Amino acid sequence: MKFGTKAIHAGVKPDPTTGAIMTPIYQTSTYVQKSSGDHQGYEYSRSHNPTRTALQESLAALENGKHGLCFSSGMGAIDAVIKLLSPGDEVISTNDLYGGSYRIFTKIFVKYGIKFHFVSMADPASIEPYINENTKLIWTETPTNPMMNIIDVEAIAKIAKKHNILLGVDNTFATPYLQTPLDLGADLIMHSATKYLGGHSDVVMGALIVNDDELAERLAFIQNSCGAVPGPQDCFLVLRGIKTLHLRMERHCQNGKTIAAYLRTHPKVEKVYWPGFEDHPNHSVAKKQMRDFGGMISFTLKGNKIEDATKILESLRLFSLAESLGGVESLCGHPATMTHASIPKEDREKVGLSDSLIRLSVGVEDAEDLKDDLAAALEKI
C-alpha cells in the first residue's frame, strides 16, 4: 500500500461484533478469562488493550517496521529506551535536541551512572572519537529541535552497525510521511505522537517503532513493568489523527515553504532555519532522505534582543503562543524560555539557539493569512 492508503487502513479493521468501521474505544481495565490463563490475548489493560494494539500496528506499518509500542508521552517513550541501558553505559546524543530530552538525560539518568556525550552530527564522522566499548546508544533528531539541522541517518547507521551500537531517531518533526529512518538503518524510532501524528492538539502520547523482535520484547517488558501506557481514548484520538496525516503534512509543507521564503526576505529577520533552502548546510541530505521539508521553521531577529522576540510573540494572533507543535493550528514559541529553558544558556548559544530565536509550527490555515499575521507582528519592533 502507498502511504495515504496505509494511513487510513493499516492496523485497523471493522469491529467483528458490530461491523463498526472505526476502532472501538475499549474503555476497560480487565478482561474475563474462560479459565486461569485461558484468555483471548488480553488480561489487563496496562499490558494490552485492543485500541492500543490497533494504533501500535498502524504506527509500525507507517514506519515500515514490525513492532509499535505506545506510551503515555514522548518522554515516557524516551525513558523506556534509556532503561535498556545499565550503569556505566554511554550515549552519544546530538547536541541540538529537544530540551525535555536533554533534561531527562542530564537530570535523571546521569545519576544512575549513564554518561551522555552531546555532539554535533552534521558531519557523521564527528561521533567516531566518542565511541568506546561502553557506547551502547546513539540518539538523534532530524530535523533537530529547534535549529532544523539535518542528520544523515544512513551514514550514522553505518557507523552504529560497525560498532554494534543501537541507533535511535526522534522522528517527531518529520513524521513517517516525510522520512522512514528504519529504512535508512536506524534500530528504533521515537515519536511524540502528541504532535503531527495526533495533529489536533488534543492528546499527549509517545511511541516507539522497531524491527528487531528481541528489542521489541525488551521494550514491551519495560512498557508493561513501568506502566507508562496511554489510555484507550488517547489511542483512539491518535488513530483518528493518523487517517489524515498525509493530507495535513502536504499542507504543512506547502505553508512552511511559503512562510520560510517570506521571512527570509523580511528586513528585520536575521536568519531563517529551514532545510528546504538550497544553501541549508545539509540540504542535499534532507533532499535524499525526506519526501519534503516540513512545516517547522525557526528564525532570529536582527539585533538579537529578547524583548523584540517577546513583542512579536505577544503580537501574533493566528500563531498562538504555546508549547508543542504539529497541530492543524499554527503555533509560535520562544525556545530559550520555553521548550529549551532546561538547557544552560552557554550550551544553547553553542548550537546557535540565541535569545531572539523564534520557533514556528506552521499550521494548515491559508498561507496568506499567516504571512499577514507575521507582517503585522514584525511591524511592532
Q: What CA–CA distance (Å, rounded) separates 345 from 304?
A: 14
Per annotation, catalytic residue among 52, 83, 98, 273: 98
Catalytic residue among 79, 170, 187, 234: 170
The catalytic residue among 42, 46, 158, 311 is: 46
Q: What is the DSSP letter of 194?
A: T
CB crowding 92-124: b at 16 or more within 10 Å, else e? bbbbbbbbbbbebbbeebeeeebbbebbebbeb
C-alpha grid cell, residue 93: 546524543
DSSP letter, residue 327: S
Residue 31 is among the residues annotated as catalytic for this protein: no
Q: Helical H runs in the chain?
A: 3-9, 50-62, 74-82, 99-103, 153-162, 175-178, 213-226, 232-242, 245-264, 283-289, 306-315, 345-350, 367-378
Residue 195 a catalytic site member: yes
Contact 206, 192 (CB under 8 A): yes
CB 374 within 8 A of CB 163: no
Neighbours of 274 (CB within 10 A): 26
- The x, y and z cell numbers of residue 367, run together, are 498561507
Catalytic site residue from 6, 195, 348, 359: 195
φ, ψ for residue 86 (rounded to 5)? -130, 160
How many of the other CB atoms lie within 10 Å of CB of 66? 15
Is 115 a catalytic site residue?
A: no
Let me know if 234 is a catalytic residue: no
Adjacent-strand bridge partners of 297:
360
Cβ atoms 381, 308 nearer than 8 A: yes
Going by their DSSP bridges, the two strands 296-301 and 358-361 should be labelled as: antiparallel
Among 194, 231, 176, residue whose Cα is nearest residue 45: 231
Catalytic residue numbers, as ranges: 46, 98, 170, 195
